[in-house]
Amino acid sequence: MSAATPIPEHVSVWAELADLDHTLRHVEVPLGTGTVRTRVLQAGAGPELVLLHGTGGHLEAYARDLTGLARDFRVTVYDMVGHGWSALPDQPYTIDVLAEHLVSLLDVLDIEHAHLSGESLGGWVAAWTAAHYPERVDRLVLNTPGNIANKPEVMHRLRESTMAAVLDPSADTVRRRVEFLFHHKEMVTEELVNLRRQVYSRPGFVQAITNTLVLQDPLVRKDFAWDPSWVSRVHAPTLLLWTSHDPTGGLDEAELLLGWLPDARLHVIQDAGHWPQWEKVGEFLDVHRTWLLLGKDPS
């Protein structure tokens, strides 16, 4: 490579982690009457911060942020039950199950309480955990939590696009699913697409994603849907991290949450879609430091 040829800002997931001391392992996490083999990455030192990915996702969703966050936090990122390279037990992965898995993971890792930052489905799980296990949660970041208004058309689009990619994990189909997450679709790399293809091709993953997508069924969703009856019980100081081009919900839905949450602020990242942690790394890191470390409104 000549000196005139710039090195891309993002080379690969491995390059993002290459200079970060971290551990990557599987741990057995109690859930119901059994245990779930759960993939976990940890790095850094400081206040505990747990990151939660979205529907059909995996911990690499935060690859671009881990080195920066690990300068200020003890960061834990993991594959939720039924996702990534964690185990795929055949049961519905409703929000209460995902929250129970998270709390059990905290127990296994000897984390008494932590900040939680969740993207999309992960934000829903983080908020539910804060409402039902308040002693385990310090501060919250709800990152593009999506479809707060429980719109049927949004549920249908997510269900159909995700299932199509899992049933046919070809490069083109999976690329369309990953591009849905981005405003700048040129940032979707072959590596990201192939990581998803590998996850979607795991034995048993069709049933696993079916068990995840029950949350897009209005009859199942009604017991867990965003609603002031439980959202108002979230007393952890909460930052709503929205974007200008989130395909799953607009600022009108952020306003709903601002009205329901006892202690919440809103910060909007411009020129980003559903994955600001990938598209706008610097702002994503600054927001987390300001809100979680300094307790200040980043806006």
pLDDT tens by residue, 155-179: 988 899 999 999 999 999 999 999 9
C-alpha torsion angle, residues 43, 46, 47, 49 (rounded to 10): -20
Global pTM? 0.96
Listed in sequence order, the DSSP H helices in 37-87 are 66-69
* Helix %, strand %, coil % of the chain (to 5): 45, 20, 40
- State the pLDDT confidence band at 233, using cuts at 50, 70 and 90: very high
- Residue recorded with tokens 């068990």: 211
Flag whether pLDDT at 141 surpasses 80.
Answer: yes
Flag whether pLDDT at 49 surpasses 90.
Answer: yes
Flag whether pLDDT at 1 surpasses 70.
Answer: no
What is the Cα–Cα distance from 245 to 18, expressed in whole angstroms?
Answer: 31
264 - beta bridge partners? 238
In a domain, 49, yes or no: yes
What is the Cα–Cα distance from 88 to 39, expressed in whole angstroms?
Answer: 12
Contact 87, 36 (CB under 8 A): yes
Average pLDDT across the chain, whole number:
96
Residue 233 belongs to domain with CATH number: 3.40.50.1820
Decide which of 10 and 149 is more confident.
10
> How many CB atoms within 10 Å of residue 66?
24
Flag whether pLDDT at 125 surpasses 90.
Answer: yes
Domains in the chain, number: 1
Flag whether pLDDT at 123 surpasses 90.
Answer: yes
Mean pLDDT calculated for residue range 36-61: 97
Question: So what's the pLDDT on residue 147?
Answer: 86
In a domain, 154, yes or no: no
What is the Cα–Cα distance from 36 to 82, expressed in whole angstroms?
Answer: 9
Mean pLDDT calculated for residue range 58-69: 98
In a domain, 105, yes or no: yes
**Among the ranges given (63-72, 152-161, 174-183, 262-271), the one the predictor scored with the smallest mean pLDDT:** 152-161
Instruction: For residue 191, give every residue at least 6 positions away whose Cβ sits within 8 Å of its Cβ, in sequence order, or none.
Output: 12, 13
In a domain, 155, yes or no: no
In a domain, 206, yes or no: no
In a domain, 298, yes or no: no
Residue range of the domain that includes 137:
13-149+227-293
- State the pLDDT confidence band at 2, using cuts at 50, 70 and 90: low
In a domain, 20, yes or no: yes
In a domain, 271, yes or no: yes
- State the pLDDT confidence band at 5, using cuts at 50, 70 and 90: confident
Mean pLDDT calculated for residue range 22-34: 97
Flag whether pLDDT at 270 surpasses 60.
Answer: yes
